[in-house]
Amino acid sequence: MIEVENLTKYYNDFCAVDHIDLQIHAGEITGILGPNGAGKTTMLRMLTGFFEPTIGRIKVKDLEMPGDSLKIKSMMGYLPESAPLYHNMIVYDYLAYVGRIKNLAEAQIPGRLKELSDICGLAEIMHKPVSDLSRGLRQRVGLSHALMTDPEILVLDEPTSGLDPNQIAEIREIIKTIGKQKTIVFSTHILSEAEATCDRVVIIGRGKIVADDTTSNLKTRMAKGADITLALAHADPKEVTDLLHRVDPSLTVRRKNQADPEAVSFQIKSLNDKDVMKDIYLAIKETDWVITEFKRDSDSLEHIFHELTKEV
């Protein structure tokens, strides 16, 4: 669907996107993941034709930027970061204006706005000025803007940034619903968001692709080497350490301070590429110890992402 070849963007001497090759397939939800300043927004701006690349090619189906950029833009819906809208317009007028620019027939506009109002939950705010809307509501209006012509491709730049947890859940739900029929590319710097929404994750660090995999593979990869916290009641620390080493001799086991005097707590680290949680559980199941805590440390889950984007 979208083919990106050798895509590079320089701002004067600074290389924001560095020779990226990428293929995005039809019907896929692709998450572009990376820390702030990694080049995500620049990359999306080139995909949507807002910026021209310094070097490189962007092909969408059989069309190529910049020659066919108007045709490509009409196939795409784009929600820029923080959904910039015209503050002095009311929501209905704004969306009608977008519809006209995107070549919808005048007679089609009221019907399409009604549909979008249902999809994005805008019924209550259609008559309000954009300046009166909360950030979450503006994001929904921005999403309606992107969905106006029911485009094949949706490009969303950090669609949930700055929203509260309820608003994040709502926007994610909308993305997932519309993502069933569309090709979606969206950027985020939040790992869990990419995991929750995307089929495939592309991690970018300093303008380069550092990982490109399906979400499940990436999760497995992240699980490997992750720290595990284990707390047990009615257990002897030495016996626990012995048992853990019998499960996997390469495990590093470190005793942690535990608030509960009845329990002993450990930080476990696996040095090889195996996910050991299952084996540890099966081994403990054979004993009469009681598990009070058993989790993969979320910080460690972020660890690989951190390492990948740091080392470039």
Partner 1 sequence: MSRIKTIASKELKDYFTSPVAYIVIPLFLIVTGWFFFSTFFLYDRAGMRDFFTLLPMIFSFIIPAVTMRLFAEEMNIGSYETLLTMPVSFTEIAVGKFTAAVLFTGAMLLPTLSYPVFISFLGELDPGPVIGGYIGALLLGGAYCAIGLFASSLTRSQIIAFIIGSAICFTLTVMDRLLVLMPAGLASFVDFMSASSHFQNIAKGVIDSRDIVYFLSIMIIAVFGTYLVMKERN
Nearest distance from C-beta of residue 308 to partner 1, angstroms: 29
Q: Residues interacting with partner 1, by CB under 8 A?
A: 45, 48-52, 70-71, 73-74, 76, 78, 80, 82, 84-89, 97-98, 100-103, 142, 145
State the nearest-atom distance from the C-beta of 29 to partner 1, in Å: 20
- Give the integer Cα–Cα distance in Å for 187 and 226: 25
Listed in order, strand segments (DSSP E) in 115-166 are 153-157
Residue closer to partner 1, measured from CB, 11 or 281: 11
How far apart, in whole angstroms, are the C-alpha atoms of residue 217 and residue 214? 5
Q: Cα(104)–Cα(276) distance, rounded to whole angstroms?
A: 56
Q: Which is nearer to partner 1, 31 or 49 (CB)?
A: 49
End-to-end Cα, the chain, rounded Å = 28
Q: Which two tokens stand for residue 75?
A: 């196939």
Contacts within 8 Å (CB) and 24+ apart, 244-253: 244/268, 244/280, 244/283, 246/283, 247/276, 247/279, 247/280, 247/283, 248/272, 248/274, 248/276, 248/279, 251/276
Minimum CB distance to partner 1, residue 84 (Å):
3
Q: How far is the CB of 244 from partner 1 (least distance, A)?
A: 53
Q: Among residues 73 and 274, whose Cβ is nearest to partner 1?
A: 73
Q: Which is nearer to partner 1, 100 or 295 (CB)?
A: 100
DSSP string, 80-114: -TT----TTSBHHHHHHHHHHHTT--TTTHHHHHH
Q: Could you tell me the smallest distance in angstroms from the CB atom of residue 222 to partner 1?
A: 33
Backbone dihedral region of 100: left (phi > 0), alpha (psi from -120 to 50 degrees) or beta?
Answer: alpha
| Choice between 105 and 259, CB closer to partner 1 | 105
CB-nearer residue toward partner 1: 1 or 89: 89
CB of 24 to partner 1, least distance (A): 17
Are 160 and 167 in contact by the 8 Å Cβ rule? The answer is yes
